[in-house]
Amino acid sequence: MGLSIESLDTYQVALTINRSVASFRYPPGRSHLKDQGIRAADSLVLNIAEGMGRGRTTNAGKNHFRIARGSLLEVFAVVDLLGMGGELKQQIRIADRLLWGLIR
Protein backbone atom coordinates (compact mmCIF):
# COMPACT_ATOMS: atom_id res chain seq x y z
CA MET A 1 0.00 0.00 0.00
CA GLY A 2 1.38 3.42 -0.97
CA LEU A 3 1.38 6.66 0.93
CA SER A 4 -1.52 9.06 0.37
CA ILE A 5 0.74 11.60 -1.36
CA GLU A 6 1.87 9.15 -4.03
CA SER A 7 -1.54 9.21 -5.68
CA LEU A 8 -2.08 12.94 -5.16
CA ASP A 9 -1.98 14.77 -8.51
CA THR A 10 -0.63 17.91 -6.84
CA TYR A 11 2.35 16.00 -5.49
CA GLN A 12 3.07 14.32 -8.82
CA VAL A 13 2.96 17.62 -10.74
CA ALA A 14 5.22 19.20 -8.09
CA LEU A 15 7.74 16.37 -8.57
CA THR A 16 7.70 17.00 -12.32
CA ILE A 17 8.35 20.71 -11.76
CA ASN A 18 11.10 19.93 -9.27
CA ARG A 19 12.89 17.62 -11.70
CA SER A 20 12.61 20.16 -14.53
CA VAL A 21 14.06 22.96 -12.39
CA ALA A 22 16.88 20.73 -11.14
CA SER A 23 17.85 19.52 -14.62
CA PHE A 24 17.61 22.85 -16.46
CA ARG A 25 20.90 24.10 -17.92
CA TYR A 26 21.35 27.47 -16.25
CA PRO A 27 23.34 30.15 -18.09
CA PRO A 28 26.72 31.27 -16.75
CA GLY A 29 26.46 33.96 -14.11
CA ARG A 30 23.01 32.83 -12.96
CA SER A 31 24.04 30.32 -10.30
CA HIS A 32 22.13 32.34 -7.70
CA LEU A 33 18.91 31.69 -9.63
CA LYS A 34 19.77 28.00 -9.91
CA ASP A 35 20.21 27.77 -6.14
CA GLN A 36 17.02 29.75 -5.46
CA GLY A 37 14.98 27.83 -8.03
CA ILE A 38 16.07 24.45 -6.71
CA ARG A 39 15.40 25.47 -3.09
CA ALA A 40 11.94 26.75 -4.03
CA ALA A 41 11.16 23.61 -6.05
CA ASP A 42 12.29 21.42 -3.15
CA SER A 43 10.16 23.47 -0.75
CA LEU A 44 7.17 23.03 -3.06
CA VAL A 45 7.35 19.23 -2.89
CA LEU A 46 8.25 19.04 0.80
CA ASN A 47 5.45 21.36 1.95
CA ILE A 48 2.84 19.44 -0.02
CA ALA A 49 4.03 16.26 1.68
CA GLU A 50 4.03 17.86 5.12
CA GLY A 51 0.60 19.38 4.53
CA MET A 52 -0.79 15.95 3.74
CA GLY A 53 0.92 14.55 6.81
CA ARG A 54 -0.62 17.20 9.04
CA GLY A 55 -4.06 16.53 7.63
CA ARG A 56 -5.42 17.75 4.34
CA THR A 57 -8.35 19.64 5.87
CA THR A 58 -6.65 20.93 9.05
CA ASN A 59 -5.41 24.50 9.46
CA ALA A 60 -1.85 23.20 9.80
CA GLY A 61 -2.17 21.23 6.57
CA LYS A 62 -3.64 24.17 4.69
CA ASN A 63 -0.84 26.41 5.98
CA HIS A 64 1.73 24.07 4.42
CA PHE A 65 -0.21 24.16 1.15
CA ARG A 66 -0.08 27.98 1.26
CA ILE A 67 3.68 27.85 1.82
CA ALA A 68 3.95 25.39 -1.09
CA ARG A 69 2.05 27.84 -3.29
CA GLY A 70 4.45 30.62 -2.32
CA SER A 71 7.34 28.38 -3.33
CA LEU A 72 5.57 27.56 -6.59
CA LEU A 73 5.25 31.26 -7.42
CA GLU A 74 8.93 31.70 -6.58
CA VAL A 75 9.74 28.94 -9.09
CA PHE A 76 7.55 30.76 -11.63
CA ALA A 77 9.56 33.96 -11.10
CA VAL A 78 12.86 32.11 -11.61
CA VAL A 79 11.46 30.56 -14.79
CA ASP A 80 10.47 34.05 -16.02
CA LEU A 81 13.84 35.58 -15.15
CA LEU A 82 15.63 32.87 -17.11
CA GLY A 83 13.28 33.04 -20.07
CA MET A 84 12.27 29.42 -19.58
CA GLY A 85 8.73 28.53 -20.43
CA GLY A 86 6.56 26.30 -22.48
CA GLU A 87 5.72 23.01 -20.81
CA LEU A 88 7.25 24.00 -17.46
CA LYS A 89 5.05 27.10 -17.19
CA GLN A 90 2.03 24.97 -18.06
CA GLN A 91 2.92 22.53 -15.27
CA ILE A 92 3.25 25.45 -12.85
CA ARG A 93 -0.22 26.70 -13.82
CA ILE A 94 -1.66 23.22 -13.27
CA ALA A 95 0.04 22.96 -9.87
CA ASP A 96 -1.34 26.36 -8.90
CA ARG A 97 -4.90 25.26 -9.64
CA LEU A 98 -4.39 22.01 -7.76
CA LEU A 99 -2.90 23.78 -4.74
CA TRP A 100 -5.83 26.20 -4.61
CA GLY A 101 -8.08 23.15 -4.44
CA LEU A 102 -6.19 21.95 -1.36
CA ILE A 103 -6.15 25.39 0.30
CA ARG A 104 -9.91 26.02 0.03
CATH of domain 9-103: 1.20.1440.60
18-59 pLDDT, tens digit per residue, is 999 999 999 999 999 999 999 999 999 999 999 999 999 999
Instruction: Give this prediction's pTM.
Output: 0.94
Decide: 65 and 101 in contact? Cβ < 8 Å.
no
Res 2: pLDDT: 61
- Tell me the DSSP string of the chain: ---TTTT-HHHHHHHHHHHHHHHS-PPTT-HHHHHHHHHHHHHHHHHHHHHHHH-TTSHHHHHHHHHHHHHHHHHHHHHHHHT--THHHHHHHHHHHHHHHHH-
Domain ranges for the chain, please list them.
Answer: 9-103
Measured distance CA(20)–CA(23) in Å, rounded: 5
